[in-house]
Each structure stands twice: as structure tokens, then as C-alpha cells.
């Protein structure tokens, strides 16, 4: 009888230990995957340092879409605490050139000028530019490939040394240079023409400012680990706001 009791006590003790171990064991986390928060809100409140391009980048949109939905014209100036629509309006009611729009205080009728195509000379120049060639933004080992269906893999990752130069993959104009985008760390976004943008994330130091023109292979930042747990470059190319595989545009290793 005592043998049975001792056996039952041992079994009970082992069960309790296993339950405790299961409760307090550390989960395995892959910190290399930069998951972007999914927002179901129709509006975005502008934070200091954000640009229309950086906001469009967060939501996987083309900047021209947000500009159109919010009646913003080139050069697309926005202000902190400004409320921007980031999803297409479900219905537009127009009465003789007037539209009913929502303001922070509630429904208010505003006269809105009919949309007209307007762009600055800078944007006109960019819109007509053609990209003759792309080049690799950094030297190093490819540690992550593009995956259209996987969150956090909307670009490629290149391992390298802290402080090494990151270079523009094609000529264009810097439309964002800062650290305001969650999980991208210090980020540079370059607009190449009407359709294409490229992004360079996790930098240690930013070498260019917004509005600056850059040439292909011009140093724009240095490699770091901001927003991630290892020294690397996260590089993206987007066409009309949508991520595309950078390897389709970059030259094959060893070729120019």
C-alpha cells in the first residue's frame, strides 16, 4: 500500500513540475522578422517628423492615393496632428462643387475645389525620369530574401559591418530621412520617378536630408542595427506603393 502511495505522490509531484516548467518557459522569438502593425483605422494622425511618403510606406500605399483622398497638392506639405484618410472614402457626395467631409468636431460642409493635376517642377522632373540601371546598396551576404506573402519580408536583408557605407541603388530625391517608422530604425526613402521608391532601414547614421538629390552609388547612410538585433541593411523597392522583389532589378553578383 505504501509503495502505491509513494508512486502516486511521485506522479503528482512530476505533473506539478512539468506544469510549472511549461508555464514559465521562455517562448522562442524570431526578432529578425519585422512585423508591421496592421491598422484597421481609416485615418492616421500625423506625428512630428512624418512625411506623406513615410505614411504611405507604413500602409503600403502610393503617396498620390493619400494625397488624392485628402485633397493635398504637391509639394505635399502636412502638419503634426493633422488627420489624414488612409483608406479610400466609401462614398463621395457632391453638390454643385461642394463636398461633405468629416472634421474632428463632426460633420461640416466645406467647399472643395475640384481636383486638378498639379505638381512642382521637382515632381515633374522625377515623374519623367527613367531608371537606366540599379546597383546594390551595400556589399555583404544576403541573409534574407523577398517574400510577397510573408510579413516582414517585403525586401531583402544584407549583412555587413557596422559603419560601412550604404549607397543609393539608383538616382533620385530623398523624401524621408529619420527614425519615426516603427521597426525600421533609422530609415532613408528615395523617390526615383513617378512609380519607384527605394528604402534603406536599420542605419546607424543618416548622411542625407529630405529634399536632397542623390546619384547612383552615392553614400546616403552607414550600416547599423537600429530597430533590429543585428547589424544589417533592410532594403526595399516599391512600385506604385507595392513591394516588389529587389532581386528582379539589381544586377547579378559580379555583373554590372
Which of 152-161, 211-220, 229-238, 241-250 is least confident? 152-161
**pLDDT at position 2, please?**
54
Whole-number percent of the chain with pLDDT over 90: 43
pLDDT single digits (tens) 51-91: 888 888 888 888 888 888 999 887 888 888 889 998 888 76
Average pLDDT over residues 124-153: 82
132 pLDDT more than 60: yes
Strands 141-144 and 106-111: unpaired
Choose between 115 and 146: higher pLDDT. 146
Choose between 240 and 149: higher pLDDT. 240
The span from the CA of 67 to the CA of 191, in Å, is 16
**Domains within the chain, CATH numbers bracketed:** 43-111 (3.10.350.10), 126-248 (2.70.70.10)
Look up the pTM and report it: 0.67
**pLDDT at position 119, please?**
40
Q: Which of 104, 54, 75 is nearest to 241 (CA)?
A: 54
Q: How far is CA 189 from the centre of its chain?
A: 9
**pLDDT at position 30, please?**
35
Most confident region among 9-13, 15-19, 130-134, 170-174 by mean pLDDT = 170-174
The span from the CA of 94 to the CA of 109, in Å, is 11
Choose between 182 and 193: higher pLDDT. 193
239 pLDDT more than 70: yes
Choose between 26 and 1: higher pLDDT. 1
99 pLDDT more than 50: no
Amino acid at each position: 500500500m505504501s509503495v502505491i502511495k509513494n508512486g502516486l505522490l511521485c506522479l503528482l509531484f512530476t505533473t506539478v513540475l512539468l506544469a510549472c516548467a511549461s508555464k514559465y518557459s521562455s517562448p522562442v522569438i524570431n526578432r529578425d522578422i519585422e512585423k508591421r502593425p496592421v491598422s484597421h483605422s481609416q485615418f492616421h494622425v500625423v506625428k512630428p517628423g512624418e512625411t506623406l511618403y513615410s505614411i504611405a510606406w507604413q500602409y503600403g500605399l502610393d503617396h498620390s492615393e493619400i494625397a488624392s483622398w485628402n485633397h493635398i497638392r504637391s509639394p505635399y506639405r502636412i502638419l503634426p496632428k493633422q488627420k489624414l484618410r488612409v483608406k479610400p472614402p466609401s462614398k463621395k457626395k457632391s453638390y454643385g462643387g461642394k463636398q461633405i467631409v468629416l472634421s474632428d468636431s463632426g460633420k461640416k460642409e466645406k467647399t472643395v475645389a475640384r481636383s486638378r493635376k498639379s505638381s512642382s517642377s521637382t515632381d515633374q522632373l522625377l515623374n519623367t525620369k527613367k531608371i537606366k540601371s540599379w546597383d546594390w546598396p551595400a556589399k555583404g551576404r544576403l541573409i534574407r530574401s523577398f517574400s510577397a506573402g510573408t510579413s516582414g519580408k517585403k525586401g531583402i536583408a544584407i549583412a555587413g559591418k557596422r559603419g560601412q557605407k550604404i549607397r543609393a541603388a539608383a538616382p533620385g530625391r530623398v523624401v524621408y530621412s529619420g527614425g519615426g517608422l516603427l521597426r525600421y530604425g533609422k530609415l532613408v526613402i528615395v523617390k526615383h520617378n513617378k512609380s519607384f521608391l527605394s528604402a534603406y532601414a536599420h542605419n546607424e547614421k543618416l548622411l542625407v536630408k529630405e529634399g536632397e538629390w542623390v546619384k547612383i552609388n552615392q553614400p546616403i547612410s552607414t550600416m547599423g542595427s537600429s530597430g533590429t538585433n543585428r547589424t544589417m541593411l533592410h532594403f526595399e523597392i516599391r512600385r506604385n506603393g507595392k513591394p516588389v522583389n529587389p532581386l528582379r532589378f539589381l544586377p547579378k553578383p559580379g555583373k554590372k
